[in-house]
Amino acid sequence: MFARGVAILGGTGQQGRGLAQRFAAAGVAVTIGSRDPGRGREAAAAWGLRQPIRVESNATAAGQSDTVVLAIPFGTADALLDDVRSSLRPGTVIVDVTVPVAFPGGKMTMIDVAEGSASEHIRARLPPEVGLAAAFKTIPARLLGAGDAPLDCDEFVCGDTEESRARAVALVGLLPGLRAVDVGTLARARHIEHLTALAIAINRRHKIHDARFRIVGLT
């Protein structure tokens, strides 16, 4: 399913870096997309990777793979999509990791999104021949980036088509210790994004960094 590799736009960041390292460790060819590939290559070189990871411009990375992870701050999504839209091939599935949260003055707030969720906002700005799924929204970056630390949790997946969801479920399945839980249509993304806000609140209240979710009763 990932013969053409996986591109991670924003892969130099906190969430993207952990995903890039773990997909590469699973044997997938990973290309990171960056606004500044030169700076991105320097950053990736400092990670001490066991597997090579390419770094290209966001548009080049987006056009090289048919599975494209969007791991950028939500507020920057419109500009990034304008940059990469014409590079996306028909049949590409975007896996959206973004969560519409902001931290003005250090206080966490959910950004009000007219479409109901970050994923639905992004869906509305993609060509119809490109699919969209949401995943990796509730797994904390600090845990993802912690080398071989066990992830040991569930990851919620929703999407606009069966094909989009299947692609995202397979991507989640590449990471040992993560179980994909298909929660249905893209409209479920708003609930997933609020769960991320809840995990952040739990982290802050209990002074931890790795609050995450496990569904019981699901076999």
Can residue 71 be called a binding residue for ligand NAP (CB under 6 A)? yes
The type of residue at 190 is R
Least CB distance from residue 3 to ligand NAP, whole Å? 26
Can residue 109 be called a binding residue for ligand NAP (CB under 6 A)? no
Total H helices, total E strands in the chain: 8, 10
Can residue 79 be called a binding residue for ligand NAP (CB under 6 A)? yes
Residue with tokens 């991105």: 40
Stretch that binds ligand NAP, among 33-41, 46-54, 123-131, 174-182 (CB under 6 A): 33-41
Can residue 141 be called a binding residue for ligand NAP (CB under 6 A)? yes
Q: Kindly tell me which of 137 and 190 has the beta carbon lying closer to ligand NAP.
A: 137
For the chain, what is the largest distance between any 2 Cα atoms, rounded to a whole number of angstroms? 47
**Residues 160-179 vs ligand NAP: string with x where CB under 6 A?**
--------------------
Dig out the tokens for 188 from the structure. Answer: 């479920």
Say which residues have a Cβ less than 8 Å from residue 151's Cβ, sequence separation at least 6: 139, 143, 144, 175, 176, 177, 178, 212
Can residue 72 be called a binding residue for ligand NAP (CB under 6 A)? yes
Instruction: Give residue number: closest CB to ligand NAP.
Output: 13
Say which residues have a Cβ less than 8 Å from residue 107's Cβ, sequence separation at least 6: none
Stretch that binds ligand NAP, among 134-142, 147-155, 184-192, 210-218 (CB under 6 A): 134-142
What values do phi and psi take at 67, rounded to 5?
Answer: -130, 115
The type of residue at 33 is G
Whether the Cβ atoms of residue 188 and residue 168 lie closer than 8 Å to each other = no
Can residue 73 be called a binding residue for ligand NAP (CB under 6 A)? yes
Footprint on this chain of ligand NAP (rule: CB under 6 A): 10, 12-16, 34-36, 40, 71-74, 76, 79-80, 97-99, 101, 137, 140-141, 196
